[in-house]
Amino acid sequence: MKKMMVMLLALVLALGMCTVYAEDASDKQYVLDKGVLVVGITDFAPMDYKDADGNWIGFDADLANAFGEYLGVKVEFVEIDWDNKILELDAKAVDCIWNGMTLTDAVKAAMETSNPYMNNAQVVVVAADKAADYQTVESLKDLTFAVEAGSAGEAEVNALGLANNPVLAQADALMEVAAGTSDAAVIDALMAAAMVGEGTSYENLTYTIGLNSEEYGVGFRKGSDLAAELNAFLVAKYEDGTLMQIAETYKVQAAVIPQVAAE
């Protein structure tokens, strides 16, 4: 038994040594050497989604492709589990998270984030026939909310002290409201605009008030020099009009945040 413990200890030490070695100096150099920028995304229209041929398109996807061209590397999109985004980055399974990510304090602490490039809000979704009753924050206090676990919506609801059921995804939160298992949901405004109301799968739902406003950004590994690189890229593309052109393609131009060079 003692021998086994010694062997185990030796193994742990050996693993520990490996970690000391392979610290990278520059994340940008790492990506350039590899020749490919791996972008972690989820299927999230209109930011990242598949066209009929199975190619990734959307405001974020098109911009990411342009950024790859600017760096001179290939861009590869990988669908990830949103809960695991920080893990995916740190494990180098992906090189950035570029998927309409809200810049929360938690995200900023765990990642090297770009400048915000788009405005968003967390909005309340309720059944359309009851929407008139829930136009103020005070009116929400007796409702039970469905929110995506770990989302900005959950943070807002908790901050207001409202009863809530955490679910796996924003789409599940909508399902809860449609099925009547929760009274209301809190999700991204961009998503609400695309998924509830007339002409969508949730015709009987609508969204009322926004609980906060927030901004989208791109996340890189902590300490990565790619974040500064992207900021410069965003300024250049805003100035030459490409950014707004892509935004108009996906009808999100109203939400774009103007990009100006730092002093």
Q: Which residues bind other proteins (CB under 8 A)?
A: 3-4, 15, 18-19, 21-24, 34, 36, 38, 42-45, 49-50, 52, 76, 78-81, 84, 87-88, 90-94, 169-172, 174-175, 178, 194-195, 200-202
- DSSP for residue 201: S
**Shortest separation between residue 54's beta carbon and other proteins, angstroms:** 9
**Smaller CB separation from other proteins, 67 or 238:** 67
Bond into 46 cis (ω within 30):
yes
Residue 58's alpha-carbon distances to 24, 138, 141, 246, in angstroms, are 32, 36, 36, 9
Residue in the block written with tokens 């791109």: 218
**Shortest separation between residue 165's beta carbon and other proteins, angstroms:** 16
**Smaller CB separation from other proteins, 18 or 262:** 18
**Shortest separation between residue 164's beta carbon and other proteins, angstroms:** 19
Token duo for residue 117: 């490039």
**Smaller CB separation from other proteins, 69 or 83:** 83
**Smaller CB separation from other proteins, 160 or 189:** 189
**Shortest separation between residue 150's beta carbon and other proteins, angstroms:** 15
- DSSP for residue 200: S
Residue 223's alpha-carbon distances to 28, 34, 83, 90, 230, in angstroms, are 11, 19, 21, 11, 14
